[in-house]
Structure 1
Amino acid sequence: MEVSSIMPKRPKQFHNESMSGYLFRLFKSNHFMPNSNYLRELELTYAQLLNNEVSDEIFYRICPWNRKRDFTYMNNTKSILGVLNDSWCNKLIQKNNLKFCPLCIQENFYHQLEWCILPLKMCTKHFVILQEGCGTCSKPLDYFSFIQQSCIFCLSPLNRLSIDQIQCDIFSNSQLNLKKTLIFREKSVVFDLEANDYIELVFASIRFLDGFKDFTGFSQDNMDIFHNRKYKTKSSINLAIAFSNADWLYTNFPNHFYYVLDLFIAKYKGMKRYGAFQHFETVVKRDCFTEIRDAFHQYCIQKLESGIIRRDFGVFREEPKLLQKRKIIRREEVKIEKGVTYGKMFRLAKNNLVQMNQSKRNEYYIDQTTLDMYLKEEKRWITKKEAALILGIHAASLESLIRSDLFEVSLKYSGKSKRINLDEVKELVARCRGELVKSIPSDYISFHDALIKYTIFNLSIVSLIQLILSGVLIPVRQNSEVTLREIYLNNDKLYKCLIAHKERNLTEKGYFFSDLLKVFKIGEKRLHRLLKEHNILPDIVSHYKDGRARFLYKETSKKRIQEVLVTNKKIRD
């Protein structure tokens, strides 16, 4: 008998429906139950049918009419494991027990492909916990019971279930990421890893997480991840929590990563510690884990220098070159050779200027590279107050000079306050001191008085220094060693420079309303009326914090106004 005659009723296949789920719906629609002879003829075992391990060829033999369709959804286990190694099948695929979303089956009663993923315990549409097995007697479900919509043990209907809404964003985001990685073949949000690399990283990382609290806050219990132990069974929820914690481990990287490693080292010793570190080192050798590998190596070096782990640790056997990166000396050597007291070393270490670690035996080790760098650079940086005394200006004016990139600043040498490069301060004074004269001419004005007098031109200390550095103004002085306060400038030349600068700004940037009044020598009411009658709008409108507006007119707008004034004058004449 042909298969097509056995299955005259052919229900529609949903795009995300598992292959075995569709076959059992097909069997139910045609009141057909596959027996051993039927499965033997198809070369299919009942276990493969129950675990969604039906091949494409067997599916077409059962449903030959699907060959004629333009598109058929081949949602079997192979579609999930297509990008993964075969070894992940037992760890990632749900077997011998079905799970389902209590809300999805109320909309359309069919089994979805994503429910076959063992670590997936959340409905990615409704954000509720997936029901696993019978909610009444907790017995496992197979496809036959699922399609019958009732448990074969207690006969309870599957649609009478409690709904647990997920409130933890970290857990739900991890479950969404897992679905996108395995079902849609997208890159993981963890370092943009491919599916196979992501799964390997997760299972290498959960060795550090097993036995600790749930860092995501989803569960209050300690994580119990591994099932290959006495009286242990596979648990979808435990593995889902493990995946969410592994994703959390690589957020805010490497802070969370180092935090968990610290907890792991403090709790475990011996083979458990060595085995987890060595397995992790083996996994992160590939190029896609470069950032993780570098952070992991840096952590191991830090623990080696602090005396927590030994140099025969498995990581250093795999990468012996890591031992060459140690650059630490004892605290006593620093005091004798560098002359740095213990108190200063602690202060520098507290401010993260010098790295200092303490071993279990209360021995302190100093990073030699950072110490030498600090001692060398410390002499080249001064405070703003010291720079202001050398320049002869107020300390508050230093900020404008810093913003104009005249000085290089650093925060590394005195905590929160800025330090300024001493060489650059001395060089600026040398370039601005000008010519040495016996007496100051009467038509010269001091640097400080010029800033006060020409405030109406928006003269700032930065613009005045730039005029001197460009050679437009040549200052004079009476003493060989002076500051900016003791230099003098030609008053007339400075005034001409400011006028020319203002005219250039008007041409380049534009004219304010008050500037147009002065240029055309007309009244405010007349100019307002002229602009309104000829629809001359400002090119730029700027608003102050108090709500006032200022209008800026470009050169083209100024010429239009001038043409209107000339035309009006001709008409009057």
Structure 2
Amino acid sequence: MKVLLNRPAMMKYESLVSFFYRITKANNYATVAAISREIDAKLFKVDRNNFSRNQIKKIAEITLKNEDDFTNKTQNYFDEKIESQFARFLYFKRGFKFCPKCITDQYHNKIIWNLNTVTVCLQHKTFLADCCMSCKNPVSMLSLVNGKCINCNFSLLDTPLNTLKVSSPIYRSQKILQRYLSHFINRNEIAMKYSFNDLIELAHKTLFLLSNLESYLPDYDGKISVFIGKVQQQEISNYDFAIALGNVYWVYKDFPVNFHRLLDDFSNKGNFDKRKRHRRNFEELFINLKFLPIKHAYNDYWKNKAKKGEISKSYLNYRQELQKVFKKSYCTKGDLIKTGILTRDEVENLLYSNSIEVREINFGGLKQFVIKSDQMVKINWYKNQSSNLIRKKQAAKMLGVSIESLRRLVNKKVLKCYKNPLLKGELLKIDDVKKILSLSNNHVDETNYCIKFNEIINKYRCHGVTIELIVTSLIKGELKAVSYKKEPQLTDFIFEENALLKCLSKNKPENKYYNLTEVAKLLNVDLRMVKKMIGIGLIKPLVDGKTYLFNKKEIGSFIDEYIESKDAAEMFGIRRGLVNKWVRNEELPNYNKTISRTFLLKKNEVEEKVNYYRKKQLKKKSHG
């Protein structure tokens, strides 16, 4: 091969593809195709800065340069040193980036500008330009070497500068990254704690957590968008990548505070499956033992989450060590049921009673309740207490009375109600019920005991005798009862009638009620008629089980207010037929209309009608 006549010097950190284009231009070649054929290189590989060792040797021969000066200025050098999984993340493939200030003296391309991770020119404190500012097309190497866009002839020197402060996280992150990159290119990484490969791996894995979150940098708002997936997507701009790397720097700047804040936001990020995949991608970082402090901070975060119950069950299943931490602090509904501590109904009642501290954790997209382990002492106490509690219906059955009667015993405070979060509603103690049933005695003279509990209620109800009065008297010792059964109910109690009468006279219960028979006699109707009057609401009874009781005052008011047509005619001195005529003509309302042929009228309405009738008759006589 012939040696080229014009052999310009290679600039510091200049990429081999840039030098290749410059020597082509210096020797007045129309295109790089001619020299490419000389070194057996394909154009698309040349534009990628991809040269084999043999091609590098031939370039060195035609330019009379040292072959070693070219080796670390190609993409092949990075391919050999950088793991293949970071290739898509590392290389900028949408043309070439440049600093408008750096190319003022000589149009060229630096090897570090071809990397996605290099986004800022530290010398001029400005973002690298990644496209033509006029037509927005990618900048080719031919455009860069000629200093103008081949599409629109826009001068690249006129590209406006997008400067940034030295104190900004983006600048600081680039300063660290490019320092490591310099050692990497100069093959001098032995003295460094981390290699350039380590930093690329750290940034790549951290961006899985940062992707689509809001930027943490104060001067740069918006979501962090970066290409890190395996599916082909549109490459992001240099500016967006700079913000992404600046956020990576922020995460580890105030470690582990910022790191834990990132994990908080990541945990609340949408799409559970995508979040799960990104979390597992990040955890691949811990294979590298250099990142052991990050692994410890990461595990501590999830352990604290497990202790607080703020962790998804699917992640607990994935991390067995966290499951142990979680079970020390919390138990689930399933744990309480499987261990036999509580039934399913008791667990549901307990959770909605607000008597214990309950947390909600995500199970996939669903929510699940968990209970603090220190609440188990309280739960066991509730369980022991619930074994001595029964519902009102059960207590009424034990006593042999109606549920209405039991409620009156509770209202009179003969029995006390309790609440237990494991059981719904108001509850009674079994011991309190048994105490009442134990008031009967089998060791007394039974000859005088001749009246049963139900007989007392039926016989003396209208004299003010109630179940609560009998039970209260038994508790006070004012009454005694016997029973022939080992496990009696109140209905099995037998009393001495004389003692009962003495008790009644002592307590002097006021007789406030009539029974059904007494009301029928007072109204001069049969029992069926009284029930019909109840049906249409003329009189209102107090129902006690199967027994009707009527308030004496209300019955007295009814008798004073209503009157039959026969009695009305006699009271007001008019003909009965006239009263009946008024009722048939609907001049007087009949309150018995639907249940009887007998007319039932209101006294005040009859009186008004009679007075009106008599005034009318007087007017007729005066005119006649």
Which category of TM-score, normalised to the shorter sequence, fits these structures? 0.5 to 0.7
Letter in 2 for 1:39: S
1:122 aligns with 2:120: yes
1:176 match = 175
Structure 2 equivalent of residue 11 of structure 1 = 8
1:290 and 2:301 matched: no
Match of 2:239 among 221, 237, 240: 237
Aligned match of 2:138: 140
Q: Secondary structure at the match of 1:3?
A: coil
Please tell me whether the aligned partners of residues 39 and 45 of structure 1 are also in contact (alpha carbons under 8 angstroms).
yes
What is the 5 A alignment of 1:196-207?
A: 196-207=197-208
Whether 1:72 and 2:74 are equivalent positions in the alignment is: no
**Kept after mapping to 2: 8 A contact 1:174/1:243:** yes
User: Per the alignment, do residues 42 and 294 of structure 1 end up closer, same or farther by CA in structure 2, a change over 3 Å counting?
Assistant: same
The structure-2 alpha-carbon separation of the partners of 1:178 and 1:262, relative to structure 1 and needing over 3 Å to count, comes to: same
Q: Is it true that 1:97 corresponds to 2:95 in the alignment?
A: yes
- Counterpart contact for 1:200–1:283, Cα < 8 Å: yes
CA contact (8 A) 1:55 1:76 kept: no
Shift of 1:161: 1.8
Aligned equivalents of 2:132, 2:294: Cα separation in 1: 42
Contact 1:50 1:96 in 2 (8 A): no
The 5 Å alignment of 1:220-299 reads 220-226=221-227, 232-299=234-301
1:196: how far off? Answer: 2.2
Runs of 5+ in structure 1 lacking a partner?
332-355, 369-573
| 1:146-203 CA distance string (max 9 Å, x none) | 11111111111111121111125210011122222233227799x9432223222222
Aligned residue for 2:155, secondary structure, equals: coil
Gaps of 5+ in 2: 332-356, 362-368, 377-624
Question: Secondary structure of the equivalent of 1:150?
Answer: coil
CA contact (8 A) 1:328 1:366 kept: no
The equivalent residue for 1:30 is 27
Does the Cα contact within 8 Å between 2:307 and 2:330 map onto a contact in 1?
no
From 53, 58, 62, the counterpart of 1:61: 58
Contact 1:15 1:73 in 2 (8 A): no
Change (3 A) 1:95 1:233: closer
Deviation per CA, 1:108-163: give whole Å up to 9, x if none. Answer: 33211111111222102111111112121111111111111111111111111211
**8 Å contact 1:214–1:221 — kept in the other structure?**
yes
2:320 is matched with which residue? Answer: 320
Residues 99, 25 of structure 1: alpha-carbon distance in 2 compared, 3 angstrom cutoff = same
Percent identity, aligned pairs only, is: 21
Cα distance change, pair 329–145 in 1 and its aligned pair in 2 (3 A): closer
Q: Which amino acid aligns with 1:9?
A: N
- Secondary structure of the structure 2 residue equivalent to 1:278: helix
Show the counterpart of 2:195: 194
RMSD: 3.3
Provide the rounded CA distance (Å) in 2 between the counterparts of 1:227 and 1:87: 10
Per-residue displacement from partner, 1:420-456 (whole Å, max 9, x unpaired)? xxxxxxxxxxxxxxxxxxxxxxxxxxxxxxxxxxxxx
Q: What SS does structure 1 have at the residue aligned with 2:81?
A: coil
Deviation, structure 1 residue 81: 4.2
SS class of match (2:136): coil
Q: What is the aligned length?
A: 338
Which residue type is aligned with residue 117 of structure 2?
P
Question: 1:214 offset after TM fit, Å?
Answer: 1.6
Change beyond 3 A, Cα 1:367–1:95: farther
Q: Does 1:210 align with 2:208?
A: no
- CA distance in structure 2 between the partners assigned to 1:330 and 1:63 by the alignment: 70
Matches within 5 A, 1:437-448: none
Once residues 94 and 149 of structure 1 are traced to their aligned partners in structure 2, the CA distance between those partners, rounded to angstroms, is 20
Kindly provide the CA deviation profile for residues 486-517 of structure 1, in whole angstroms up to 9, marking residues without a partner as x: xxxxxxxxxxxxxxxxxxxxxxxxxxxxxxxx
TM score, norm. by length of structure 1 = 0.53
Which one of 281, 284, 304 corresponds to residue 306 of structure 2? 304
Alignment check: 8 A CA contact 2:208 2:228 kept: no
> Matches of 1:157 and 1:218 in 2, distance apart?
30
CA contact (8 A) 1:305 1:365 kept: no
* 8 Å CA contact 1:214, 1:222 repeated in 2: yes
Q: Against the structure 1 CA distance between its residues 129 and 208, is the aligned structure 2 distance closer, same or farther, given a 3 Å change threshold? A: same
Are the aligned partners of 1:181 and 1:188 in contact in 2 as well (CA < 8 Å)?
Answer: no
Residue of structure 1 equivalent to 2:529: none
Q: Sort the Cα spacing of 1:51 and 1:326 in 2 relative to 1 into closer, same or farther, 3 A.
A: same
Query: What's the CA shift string for 1:193-217, capped at 9, x where partnerless?
Result: 3222322222221121112222123
Residues in 2 aligned to 1:367 and 1:287: alpha-carbon distance in whole angstroms:
40
> Residue 280 and residue 230 in structure 1: after superposition, are their counterparts in 2 closer, same or farther (change >3 A)?
closer
Q: Which amino acid aligns with 1:264?
A: F
Write the letter of the residue equivalent to 1:273.
R
Q: TM-score, normalised by structure 2?
A: 0.49
Separation in 1 of the partners of 2:237 and 2:82?
Answer: 21
Change (3 A) 1:306 1:359: farther
Report the Cα offset of residue 230 of structure 1.
8.3
Paired residue secondary structure (1:262):
helix
Note the C-alpha offset of 1:358: 6.0
Shift in Å at residue 35 of structure 1?
5.8
Deviations 1:354-400 (A, max 9, x none): xx9965559556699xxxxxxxxxxxxxxxxxxxxxxxxxxxxxxxx
**Residue type matched to 2:171 in 1?**
S
Instruction: Kindly indicate whether the alpha-carbon contact (under 8 Å) linking 2:89 and 2:228 is maintained by their aligned counterparts in 1.
Output: no
Preserved contact between residue 84 and residue 196 of structure 1 (Cα < 8 Å): yes
Query: For 2:121, what is the secondary structure of its paired residue?
Result: coil
DSSP 3-state at the match of 1:267 = coil
In 1, are the aligned partners of 2:208 and 2:281 still within 8 Å (CA)? Answer: no
User: Are the aligned partners of 2:96 and 2:138 in contact in 1 as well (CA < 8 Å)?
Assistant: yes
Deviation at 1:22, TM superposition (A): 0.7
1:86–1:62 Cα change, 3 Å = same
Are residues 330 and 267 of structure 1, via their aligned partners in 2, closer, same or farther at CA, if it must alter by over 3 Å? closer
Query: What amino acid is the match of 2:103?
Result: I
Match of 1:49 among 41, 46, 51: 46
Query: Match of 2:243, as an amino acid?
Result: I
SS of 1:131's equivalent? coil
> Aligned partners of 1:257, 1:366: CA distance in 2, in Å?
30
Residue range with higher mean Cα deviation, 9-18 or 84-93: 84-93
Cα distance per residue 1:330-354 (max 9 Å; x no partner): 69xxxxxxxxxxxxxxxxxxxxxxx
Pairwise CA distance, 1:66:
5.3
Equivalent of 2:82 in 81, 84, 101: 84
- Decide whether the 8 Å contact of 1:305 with 1:357 is kept in 2: no
For 1:45 and 1:301, locate their aligned partners in 2 and report how far apart those are by CA, in whole Å.
55
SS state at 1:63 partner: helix
Distance in 2 between the 1:23 and 1:76 partners?
11
Counterparts of 1:306 and 1:327, CA distance in 2: 11
Q: Residue 562 of structure 1 aligns with which residue?
A: none
- 1:106 & 1:198 partners in 2: Cα distance? 31
How far is 1:84 from its partner? Answer: 1.2
Query: For 1:206, what is the secondary structure of its paired residue?
Result: helix
**1:241-261 residue CA offsets vs partner (Å, 9 max, x unmatched):** 212211211121111111011
Do the aligned partners of 2:309 and 2:370 also contact (CA within 8 Å) in 1? no
